């Protein structure tokens, strides 16, 4: 059986790439499982600090494989854990960056939006076209659009299934940064390398504050942020970072 997912190491950055060109990298159960395996391996590898998800052939992910999904029943989704991939990305203990060229549609859009950052080519297209085949987004599409772009944009895109040009996605806060076509992976790697130079415990704390804070009342989120902030003052990296700043030298962070 052909394998569709591979991992490339760039120092402490793992690039996980989908290669299924005949289907524009569409997600079937095999691709999803291979992605889960690659992600879990990268998360478990102490030498890897940041993960980048991307596709080959000028596409990110053109959607979920409709041919495979057409005859599935509700219990099939449960038994085959068809949504597990998105759970793994959301639960990652390491930053995950989506490098998007071409299409990020349906499950591909949901996969990108599950990541911490989205780097997109300025000619890329996002969208949740599930309604056009009689269903709706089921892996975070409606809820992430709602929380990023607001109710009215989310309703427009989810109810029409229209594509969202990258520039419009950027304006609606679905994309972290735009780059020229063909440069998404390079820019994602540049950002990833910057993050690898930051203190790991502070990276984890910021991600926790961002991921949990957006779904609770402001006062609760502010309390969470304060506790995470205070906790970092018990780390060697805090002492090293501030000492290096005062001594006007680069900091040597160790993640402790």
Give per-residue pLDDT as tens, 193-224.
999 999 999 999 999 999 999 889 999 999 99
Same domain, 180 and 205: no
Same domain, 96 and 185: yes
Same domain, 101 and 191: yes
Same domain, 159 and 207: no
- Detail the DSSP E strand segments found in 93-142: 96-100, 103-105, 117-121, 125-127
Q: What is the mean pLDDT of residues 240-245?
A: 95
- Distance between CA atoms of residues 86 and 212, nearest Å: 16
Same domain, 152 and 221: no
Task: Calculate what percentage of the chain has a pLDDT beyond 90.
Answer: 89
Same domain, 189 and 213: no
Same domain, 80 and 161: yes
Same domain, 186 and 242: no
**CA separation, residue 36 to residues 40, 42, 76, 217, 238 (Å):** 6, 10, 18, 32, 34
Residue 72: its pLDDT value, please?
A: 72
Q: What is the mean pLDDT of residues 66-81?
A: 74
CATH number of the domain residue 59 falls in: 3.90.226.10
Same domain, 109 and 132: yes
Residue 172: its pLDDT value, please?
A: 97
Same domain, 146 and 30: yes
Q: What is the mean pLDDT of residues 32-40?
A: 97
- Distance between CA atoms of residues 160 and 182, nearest Å: 29
**Do the beta carbons of residue 219 and residue 125 sit within 8 Å?**
no
In a domain, 134, yes or no: yes
Task: For 88-99, write each residue's pLDDT tens digit.
Answer: 999 999 999 999
Same domain, 127 and 242: no
Neighbouring CB atoms inside 10 A of 149's CB total 20
Residue-number span of the structural domain to which 10 is assigned: 5-196
């Amino acid at each position: 059986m052909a394998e569709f997912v591979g991992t490339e190491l760039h120092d402490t950055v793992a690039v996980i790439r989908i290669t299924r060109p005949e289907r524009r990298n569409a997600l079937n159960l095999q691709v999803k499982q291979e992605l889960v395996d690659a992600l879990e391996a990268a998360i478990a590898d102490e030498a890897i600090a940041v993960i980048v998800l991307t596709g080959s052939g000028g596409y990110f992910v053109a959607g979920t494989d409709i041919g495979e999904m057409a005859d599935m029943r509700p219990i099939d989704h449960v038994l085959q854990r068809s949504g597990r991939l998105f759970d793994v990305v959301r639960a990652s203990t390491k930053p995950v960056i989506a490098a998007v060229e071409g299409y990020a549609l349906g499950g591909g859009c949901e996969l990108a939006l599950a990541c911490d950052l989205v780097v997109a080519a300025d000619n890329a297209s996002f969208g949740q076209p599930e309604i056009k085949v009689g269903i709706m987004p089921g892996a975070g599409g409606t809820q992430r659009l709602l929380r990023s772009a607001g109710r009215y944009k989310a309703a427009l895109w989810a109810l029409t299934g229209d594509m969202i040009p990258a520039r419009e996605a950027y304006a609606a806060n679905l994309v972290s940064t735009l780059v020229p076509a063909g440069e998404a992976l390079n820019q994602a790697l540049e950002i990833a390398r910057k993050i690898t130079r930051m203190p790991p415990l502070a990276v984890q704390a910021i991600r926790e504050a961002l991921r949990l804070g957006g779904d609770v009342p402001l006062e609760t989120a502010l309390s969470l942020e304060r506790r995470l902030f205070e906790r970092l003052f018990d780390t060697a990296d805090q002492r090293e970072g501030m000492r290096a700043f005062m001594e006007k030298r680069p900091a040597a962070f160790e993640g402790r």
